Structure 1
């Protein structure tokens, strides 16, 4: 068996080659099991308020009851959640899933254009949105299938005094809530209250393993954002795989994990929100991790045992005064993913915290975990790790032939966590899933003799900014909307803070066009992480003889 899977010989003690992906028929059954075992344990905390597993049970059941009983949503209907990390998120998430509906996670920072595409493409009928971002939803109402909008304020799940204070500061002091007017919008707390008097039982909701739990939007390895169809079985499989991998290093019912990455991102959703739920852990949610001094203060008050993040997050913490004074005595697990971990950051993290930064690898299309390094790694090793249990990996050349040992090829993944395909896009699905069931990741990699995989380069031109995918085509389309632009190409360039940053190279039609004008236009149409950090003007773009732009040359500084 290890001939085709040399990585099995490198597995840590106690980690099985295969896991039982059919032990739980749905995410809801994993939740029920956790509630049964850990009822009185804290489950989620945010802004000073903690709720137990029993409270998650009660509140999410009320939300589910309202969706089914009052809004009359039907099995498989799509419900969007447009929230930062706050207590409303897990309540709504599990409520939607318990109702047999599909979650569409939405980045709250989306522009109206980006949001409209996602809502229309998915056929979303209801959305829960924080007041701060409701004006964006308002702008899309006329062009999307939305029937119901539920709004909430940041402090709505806090105790009365704290709720009043937080909501006042957000709206009137920091002025973070632009005016909006959405007729017939419902309020989250009123929905929860109304759900109390409506009958709901999990036993009455039929959820099959192949039902779609999430339409998780990603550009995948090509173009426009597409909804990866992640079934209950996909997510349960990944929870079982990740739990088997890190479970030997975990104290059930005693873990506190710092959740700074947004739960709408697949990495935090599965690793923190779902896997640590299975462990009976406490998710300590950070609402605004960009406020690094505030984040560090929060860490100083928390006896945490685990943290997940992307390279930029760890790097930011290491450069924030006071971080070195945090109590790391209980920290035994740091998991990095979403983008490449830099050696300098990993080594500094170990030096300051005493805990190895363990790199993992995955994609939205793999729910997301595909490879993880051993958790007992003494130090950073530069690899993305070993394929996790019940997962196969191989390297293929452009003709689909297997690459030999030490050779570079496109990393391909097969396993129960691989998506069903892209929502309503069989053509796009066919581009990444081959006839043998292998998912082509678009990442070029090599494997060493022990079965560790190393990413070498990306096959596609996708740009990875702080763990978020940016697709050059989308940025180019937006910049090309400007009448002063003749030609434009977007590329990723190395950046200390975010791993990569977006650079646009423009051939201007109007010589008076400035970089500031370009960025201002982009800001109206693109989320923050997609904005060009660098704007360069050239007389022409380098191209092949058939007119294809040579992006690789654009990554180099212009020749004087």
Structure 2
């Protein structure tokens, strides 16, 4: 496809990027730490860490890994929520020349066992709340070195109180036994004694094995190289540069840093501009999240639709001072127009969509950040990125016609770890990545997401996209959350079923269906309605349609 999107680029954004001046993510990290040494890098539960302190701690962690004999390319698993320990272990692992394997702390033993065995990780850093999971998953893995860290270990004196409350008041640490494990500070002290020797790295070296959600089968590790991530960070940096101020931004990070969205956007891109980063350890605790937000002059927030919706439904959120707010970026799932409209009204800045995948490091398209309102698009292909919309035979379709979104660019993964067949299946011969998402490109080059290909509902031969139904239902003032799926129907093959979390307890099935009649054509109108107190979600808050479908 011709790069028609370049006509819509804001002034100052290049058509292409060059990362020859960035040999690795370690070089990018060290440059930022030198440049902003005295500025605050991270804040967690009131504790601040400067870029200079971060550099020293990561040097110690890298030294500890090297003292164990770990070589370049060996895998180190990290299993933590957003704590100060996470960026220290992350950058320390990269500086040691090792590969980061991010693990969701909410994994079951079975899920963790698969990821540890598949990756071949030899070391792990895990928060003590989930050490019992590791105890049940470690057999048969290659793990030889274990760091178990309490939540408050890096918080100074305050950490003693935090750990006491977590362990003894809230009883959030199940009993565990992992012989030979050490604490995080003990590892740093050992690394400091050992010293750190820089490791030569280049663009082709793997930085992350970032595991996909496994929604289409077994979870696979996307091999993201230093070049992949450095490219995406450079692409994102160029995109935000016209609207941000280096050394002055304050970003709030509620999405977990082990997820690719927050990892590249919050942790790495905003590192390049010396931003302060407020870490939220438990984003599901919305009242505490709002309370933390209120303490600081936040300028940037990233999130998913469900997070923004939850904030807007908290009575104290609208009372915050949003005068410093500059950018709100939504990704990970489709942003619903009703949520975006309420966000603009309450916060005063537009909620703009971005789009990407684990396999694209993740950003592929982002909306111009100088826009004043929600436009429904997932953005323009970013610098050095091509989008091709293709039919089932792999043939490119015309502008405005729906097909599978395919992506090519320097941020696209090397392939899946030890799965050449899966890698071959997901790439066309011309190296365009098949995303599994359906969408189209308009004449101005904006990309619109229709839905996941596998979630499409077929009603009497007509395609129904759950996103469209969900957005219509979400427009009803009595609805907090909604998910739509297809269920078997003897007359139409499939019918639309919606699962609804009510804001108004008196909302009825009939009222909702009548509401949908005013917004949707006949075959798209839900035939079944089920009210629930909550909906199943992923670790970043995306609604799991698959889980609803399995239980339907």
CA contact 1:127–1:149 (8 Å) conserved in 2: yes
Partner in structure 1 of residue 239 of structure 2: 245
Note the residue ranges of structure 1 that are not aligned, 5 or more in a row. 464-490, 506-522, 538-553, 555-560
The offset of 1:462, in angstroms, is 9.5
Q: Is 1:74 matched with 2:74?
A: no
Partner in structure 1 of residue 375 of structure 2: 381
Q: Is 1:301 matched with 2:287?
A: no
Partner deviation per Cα, 1:245-265 (whole Å, 9 max, x = no partner): 111111000111000000000
Partner in structure 2 of residue 200 of structure 1: 196
Q: Is 1:128 matched with 2:125?
A: yes
Paired residues, what number? 487
The offset of 1:145, in angstroms, is 1.6
The offset of 1:221, in angstroms, is 7.2
Partner deviation per Cα, 1:130-179 (whole Å, 9 max, x = no partner): 0000000000121322111110000000112x011000000000000000
CA contact 2:4–2:445 (8 Å) conserved in 1: yes
The offset of 1:111, in angstroms, is 0.3
Among 340, 343, 352, the alignment partner of 1:349 is 343
Q: Is 1:340 matched with 2:334?
A: yes
Distance of aligned partners of 1:409 and 1:530 in 2 relative to their CA distance in 1, 3 Å threshold? closer
SS in 2 for 1:429: helix
Partner deviation per Cα, 1:155-210 (whole Å, 9 max, x = no partner): 000112x01100000000000000001111111111111211112132xx111211
CA contact 1:221–1:460 (8 Å) conserved in 2: no
Within 5 Å, give how 1:362-373 maps onto structure 2. 362-373=356-367
Partner in structure 2 of residue 95 of structure 1: 92
Partner in structure 2 of residue 14 of structure 1: 12
CA contact 2:408–2:431 (8 Å) conserved in 1: yes
Within 5 Å, give how 1:110-509 maps onto structure 2. 110-160=107-157, 162-202=158-198, 205-219=199-213, 222-461=216-455, 494=470, 500=483
SS in 1 for 2:345: helix
Q: Is 1:47 matched with 2:41?
A: no
Distance of aligned partners of 1:535 and 1:370 in 2 relative to their CA distance in 1, 3 Å threshold? closer
CA contact 2:455–2:485 (8 Å) conserved in 1: no
SS in 1 for 2:139: helix
CA contact 2:326–2:349 (8 Å) conserved in 1: yes
Cα distance between partner residues in 1 of 2:167 and 2:14: 51
The offset of 1:536, in angstroms, is 8.4
The offset of 1:36, in angstroms, is 1.3
SS in 1 for 2:437: strand
- After the TM superposition, list the runs of 4 or more consecutive aligned residues in structure 1 that deviate by more than 6 angstroms: 501-505, 526-529
More displaced 10-residue stretch of structure 1: 110-119 or 193-202: 193-202
Q: Give the alignment's TM-score, normalised by structure 2.
A: 0.84
Cα distance between partner residues in 2 of 1:379 and 1:318: 17
CA contact 2:483–2:545 (8 Å) conserved in 1: no
Cα distance between partner residues in 1 of 2:167 and 2:432: 49
CA contact 1:61–1:98 (8 Å) conserved in 2: yes
CA contact 2:74–2:98 (8 Å) conserved in 1: yes
Distance of aligned partners of 1:264 and 1:380 in 2 relative to their CA distance in 1, 3 Å threshold? same
Among 54, 67, 84, the alignment partner of 1:56 is 54
SS in 2 for 1:197: helix
Cα distance between partner residues in 1 of 2:484 and 2:220: 22
Distance of aligned partners of 1:93 and 1:123 in 2 relative to their CA distance in 1, 3 Å threshold? same
Distance of aligned partners of 1:287 and 1:409 in 2 relative to their CA distance in 1, 3 Å threshold? same
The offset of 1:532, in angstroms, is 7.7
Q: Give the alignment's TM-score, normalised by structure 1.
A: 0.83
The offset of 1:220, in angstroms, is 6.5
Cα distance between partner residues in 2 of 1:327 and 1:277: 25
The offset of 1:117, in angstroms, is 0.5
Distance of aligned partners of 1:499 and 1:393 in 2 relative to their CA distance in 1, 3 Å threshold? farther
Partner deviation per Cα, 1:70-96 (whole Å, 9 max, x = no partner): x11111111000000000000000000
CA contact 1:267–1:338 (8 Å) conserved in 2: yes
Partner in structure 1 of residue 81 of structure 2: 84
Partner deviation per Cα, 1:451-510 (whole Å, 9 max, x = no partner): 0011112222499xxxxxxxxxxxxxxxxxxxxxxxxxxx999586666488999xxxxx
Cα distance between partner residues in 1 of 2:224 and 2:546: 31
SS in 1 for 2:251: strand
Cα distance between partner residues in 2 of 1:532 and 1:245: 34
CA contact 2:441–2:447 (8 Å) conserved in 1: yes
Among 81, 101, 104, the alignment partner of 1:104 is 101
Distance of aligned partners of 1:388 and 1:55 in 2 relative to their CA distance in 1, 3 Å threshold? same
SS in 2 for 1:216: strand
Cα distance between partner residues in 2 of 1:502 and 1:187: 46
Distance of aligned partners of 1:208 and 1:220 in 2 relative to their CA distance in 1, 3 Å threshold? farther
Partner deviation per Cα, 1:87-123 (whole Å, 9 max, x = no partner): 0000000000000000000000000000001101111
Distance of aligned partners of 1:407 and 1:27 in 2 relative to their CA distance in 1, 3 Å threshold? same
CA contact 1:106–1:264 (8 Å) conserved in 2: yes
CA contact 2:61–2:89 (8 Å) conserved in 1: yes
